[in-house]
Structure 1
Amino acid sequence: MFATAHFASLSFRVTRLVVLLALTSAALAAVTALRPMEQRMRTATGEQQFAILKMAAASLDVQVEARRTLLRTAVQRVEAELRLSQQAVGLLANQASLNGQFSSVFLLDAGGKVVAGLETPKAVGQVATGLDGQLDELFTSGAGTTARALLSGNERLPALFILEPVRDEGGTIRYVLAGGIDLGGADISGQLDAATIGRRGYLYVVDLNGTILHHPDKRRINELADSSSEELRTALLGFEGWREGTDVDGEPALLGYKRLRAVPWIVAAVCPIDDAYADATQAQTAALFTASLVAITTAVAGLFLALRLLRPFDELHGRVREIVQGEADVEVLDTNCEDEIGALGQAFLTITRKCAAAEDRLARLAFTDALTGIANRRMLEEALAHVIARGRRVGHMVAVAYLDIDRFKSINDTMGHMAGDAILVEFAARLKTAVRSHDTVARFAGDEFMIVFDGVTGVAETEEAARRILGCFKAPFTYGSRSLRVTTSIGIALQRPETMGSAMELIARADAALYRAKRGGRNRYMVEATAEKMPDFGTGRTDSALSDNEPLESGVSFPITGT
C-alpha cells in the first residue's frame, strides 16, 4: 500500500516527468548537436582523404617530370653521337644511366619501328603499335609527349612511354627516344600501396579511357574500371574531389579522384564508409552516451556538455574557413589541443606543409638548370624582363652578356660528354663568383651562358666586369688527372632606359657582339652600345689582338647607332 501510494505520489510523477523531460531534452539536444557535427566531420574526413590523394598525385607528377628531364638530357647526348656517326646502331650504348629510372628504353623511327634498344637487342626491328597519333603529333610539333604501346610479337610494354624527339645536325627530327615507366615498379607501386587511406582503403590509377593501370589487386590491371560507376564517369569527364558512392562490390564507400598534370591519368581513392567515418562514429556515440548520463541529473548540464564538446571542432572549422577566405595562415592549425580534433588539425597542417614543399620543389625544377644548378632560360627571360622594366622606371642602364666556351665541342669529342658536363658545372661556378650578388647568371643552351647586369653606369663598368669574368678562367680546369685551359668569348650589349627595347632585341645584340668576339680570335670580349652611351670612345673602333704571351683580358668596344 505504501509502495503504491509512493509511486502514485505527485513528487514521483513530477520527478518521473522531469527525468523524462531531461532525457528527451538531452536526446533532442544530442541529435541537434551531433547532426551538424557528423556532417562537418564527414566533410573534414573527405577533405583529409582527398589531401592524401593529392599528395600521392603530386608525388607521381614529380617522378614523371624528373624522368622526363632525365630523358631530355639523354636526348642531348644521343644527338651529339648522331652527329658523329649518322647511324642509329649504338646510339644507346652510352646511356646506361637510364636503366635505373626506366624499365625499357628504345629509339624509334617515324613509323614506330625500334631501331635501337638499351640492353634489349631482341626488340630491334619490332614495331610499337598504338603510337601512330602520338608519333605524327611529335614529328609535326616537335614537342615531347606520352603514350602507351605494344611491341609486335605480343611483348607487353610498360604502362607509359615518355617520347622525346631526337634531331640531326640540321634540326630535323630523325628518331624518337622512348623511355618506359612501369607502374609495377617498387618506387611507384610501393608508394601508391603505402598511402594510408583508412584501414581498408586503397589507391588505384586509371587512364582517360577507364583502363586500370595500377591496382592493389594485380588481377585487375589492364581491365576496364566499373563503367556503371557514376562517380568514375564524372571523373573521366574532368571532376576532381571526393564524394560518397559505392565501390566495385556495391558497398558504400568514400571515393576521391585527382587528375595528374604530367600524364593523362587519374589517381582514385576508395575507402569503405564505415572505415572512413569510424572516428566520427565513435565520437558521436561517446558524445551521445555522455549526454545521456548527464541528462539523468540535469538537462542543462547535458546541453552544456554537448556545446563544450563541439567547441574545439567549431574552432577548428572556423580556422579552416579563415584559411579558405585568405584571412589567416595555415599555422593557425598548429594548436596545443591533444584530442582527436587537435590531431585532425595537426594532420591538416602537415598535409598543407607537404603540399607547399612539393610545389616549391616543382617551382625550383622549373627555374633551375638541372646540370649546373644556376638559373635556366625560363628564369633568365623573367629576370631580364623584370630588370628592363625596373630600368625604365628608375632610369638605370641595363646590360646583357652572352658567353660561350671556346672550342667546347673539341672537349666533348676528345674527352667525352662526362668531361664536358664537368667543365660546364665548373664554368658556371666560377662565373657566379665573378659577378655581383644581384646579377643573374643563367645557362642559356648547351655551352652558352648569359648574365643580366641589373643597373650599370656605362661601358667602363661593363668592360671591367668582362675583364673580371675573363680573369676568373685563368686558372686551369682539372678533370681527373688532366689539366685544361678553358677560355670564353663574351658579347655584351648595353641599353639606356629612354631607348630600352625588348628583351629579345637586347639578347640579339649581345649575340651579335659575341659573334664579333669569336671572329676576332676568341678569349676576348666585345661591347656594343649606342653612340650616346660611349662619350669616352668617340666614333672610332679599337681592336687588340691576342698573342700567347698576352693576358686573357682582351676586348673591343665599338659604337653602333640606333637601338
Structure 2
Amino acid sequence: MTSWRRSIPCWYLRFGAACSLLSFGIPISRCPALPKEIQNYHNTDMRGLPFLTAPSLKTRMAIVAVALVFVTTILASTVSLVLAKRGMKAIIGDQQFTLLSQVADEIDQKFYTRQRGLQLIAAAIPRDIFQDSDRLQRFVEQHSNFKVLFDNLSIANAQGELLANLDDPASRGKLNVANRAYFKDTMATRKGVISAPLRSALTHKPVLIMTAPVLDQQGNVALIVGGTMALDHENFLGRLAQVRIGRTGYVFAVTNDGVIVSHPKKSLVLQQVASMAGSNPGFDRALAGYEGTLEGSNRAGAHGLFSYKRMRSTNWILGAVYPEVDAFTSIAEVEKKALLAAILLAVLVGPLAWWIARRQIAPLQQLHAHIQEVRQHPETALASPLREPDEIGRLARTFDNLMRERLTAEAKA
C-alpha cells in the first residue's frame, strides 16, 4: 500500500485542495505538490464529474450577478439603516429629554406645594406654646391631614430637641437633631430647606426632610417644623423609581454631590455614585452641569441613551436611561428583514441571471459548434450561421475568412 493511502487524513486534505483548484478552473496537472495518484485518478475517472470541473461561463456569470445583487442590496440596506438609526436616535433622545423635563417640573411643583404647606403649619403655631411639648404635640395631631403630603410631621426647638412627633410621640425629648445638616442650614439661613437623602434616626430607613422655621419676635429661629418623606414609600419620590421608559428604561435621581435619591434598585439609595465600580463619562458631564441626551454606557457597561436634567427646587440631577436593546429593537427587526429580503432577492435573481447568461452565451456555443464542424470537415469551410454585428459575429466571420485563406493557400500549394 502506498504512503498516501496510509495517511488518510492528509490525503483528504489534498483531495479537498484538488476540488478547490478545479472549482477555480486551475488544472490539477499544474500542482505538482498533489500526489500523482490524485492527478492520475482525476485524469481518468473524475474528468466527467461536473462538480470537479471548472464552472462554465454561464454559471460564473450567474454567480457574479447573484453576488452583485446580494452585496448591493445589503450595502444599500445598511447605509439606509445607519442613516435611519442616526435619525431615530436623535428623535428618541429629544423625546426622552422632553419627558424627563416634564417629570422634573412635576417634582419641582410637588416640592413647592409641600414647602408652602409647611410654611402654613409654621405660621399657625401660637407663640405661647413654643416651649410646651404637650401642646405642640396636640397641635401636630390636629394637623394630621397634612399626612397626604408627608409621611410624618415633627417639631424641634432651636437646640435640636424633638418636641413633637406625629407618628411617634414617645420619641419626644429622646432625640436631638442639632447635628443634622438640614437643621444647621435652616438655623443659618432662617429659611426652609430640602435635605439631602439620609437615614432616619427613628426608623433607620432612607428619608428626605423638608423644613420651615418658626421665628420669634426678635426674628430668631424658635422652632423648626419638619416634614418627612420616606424614600421607600408610595409617595411621589417613591413612585419616581417606577417610571418606565419603553420596556426596560427607567428614571433615577441623584444629588449634586452624587448621592442616589431614587433608583429602581432600592439597595442603591443613599449610596455614592463615585464609590461604585466602573465609569460613566456622561454622568460626570451631568455633574458638571450638562443637560441633554447622550449615547454611551453606564458603570455596569450597559449601552443606551442617557438623558440628564437639573431640578430647580433641589439642584438634583434627574436622569433617564433607555437601554439600546430596547430603544433600537425596531431597527434590529428591520435589519433582519433587510437581510432576508436580500437573500430572497438573490435567490430569485439567480435563475434569471442564468437565463440571461444562457442567451448571451448561445452565440459562443454556436461558434464552438461551427469550429468543431469545420475542424472535422476542413475542406467544406462552411460559412458561420452567426451574422450578428456584435463582437461574436465579427469573430465568426474572421474565422471563416481565415479558413478560406488557408484552403486557398493549400490549393495553390
TM-score for the superposition, normalised by structure 2: 0.61
| Residue 294 of structure 2, aligned match among 239, 243, 247 | 243
2:216 is matched by which residue type in structure 1?
D
Q: Which residue of 2 aligns with 1:233?
A: 284
User: Which among 43, 52, 69 is matched to residue 90 of structure 2?
Assistant: 43
Deviation of 1:49 (Å): 3.1
Q: How many residues align structurally?
A: 293
Deviation at 1:102, TM superposition (A): 0.9
Which is bigger in relative contact order (C-alpha 8 A, separation at least 6)?
2
RMSD: 3.4
1:145 to 186, 189, 193: 193
Tell me the equivalent position of 1:166: 214
Quote the residue 1:127 is aligned against: 176
* The one of 106, 123, 131 aligned to 2:154: 106
Partner of 2:56: 8
1:262 matched to 2:262? The reply is no
Query: In 2, are the aligned partners of 1:129 and 1:150 still within 8 Å (CA)?
Result: no
- The percentage of aligned residue pairs carrying the same residue is 26
Greater share of strand residues, 1 or 2? 1
Distance 2:221 2:77 in 1: 71
- CA change 1:241–1:123 in 2 (3 A) is farther
CA displacement at 1:72 relative to structure 2: 1.7
How big is each residue's C-alpha offset from its partner over 1:454-473, in whole Å with a ceiling of 9 and x where there is no partner?
xxxxxxxxxxxxxxxxxxxx
Alpha-carbon distance in 1 for matches of 2:196, 2:336: 50
* 1:162 Cα offset (Å): 1.2
Maintained 8 Å contact 2:154/2:226: yes
Distance in structure 2 (CA, Å) of the matches to 1:279 and 1:130: 54
**What is the distance in 1 between the residues matched to 2:59 and 2:90?**
46
What's the CA shift for 1:295?
6.3
**Distance apart, 1:203 and its partner CA:** 2.6
1:62 corresponds to which of 84, 96, 109: 109
The TM-score, its normalising length taken from structure 1, stands at: 0.46
Paired residue secondary structure (1:186): coil
Are 2:233 and 1:182 aligned?
Answer: no
- CA 190–285 in structure 1, closer or farther in 2 if over 3 Å, else same: farther
Structure 1 residues 173, 154: CA separation in 2 closer, same or farther (over 3 Å shift)? closer
Aligned match of 1:19 = 66
- Decide whether the 8 Å contact of 2:150 with 2:228 is kept in 1: yes
- Find the aligned partners of 1:151 and 1:296 in 2 and give their Cα distance: 67
Closer, same or farther: CA 205–114 of 1 in aligned 2, 3 Å: same
Deviation at 1:186, TM superposition (A): 0.9
What's the offset of the Cα at 1:153?
5.9
Offset, 1:196: 2.0
Deviations 1:88-141 (A, max 9, x none): 432324221222221221222233322222243233231115535x54543454
> What is the one-letter code of the residue matched to 1:229?
S
Q: 2: CA distance between counterparts of 1:151 and 1:245? A: 32
Deviates more, 1:165-174 or 1:23-32: 165-174
Verify: 1:218 aligned to 2:266, yes or no.
Answer: yes
Q: CA deviation at 1:179?
A: 0.9
What code does the residue aligned with 2:242 have? Answer: A
In structure 2, the gaps of 5 or more residues are: 1-47, 350-413
Tell me if 1:31 matches 2:78: yes
In the alignment, the residues of structure 2 paired with residue 259 and residue 98 of structure 1 have an alpha-carbon distance, to the nearest angstrom, of 28
Q: CA deviation at 1:296?
A: 6.2
Say which is worse superposed, 169-178 or 28-37, in terms of deviation: 169-178
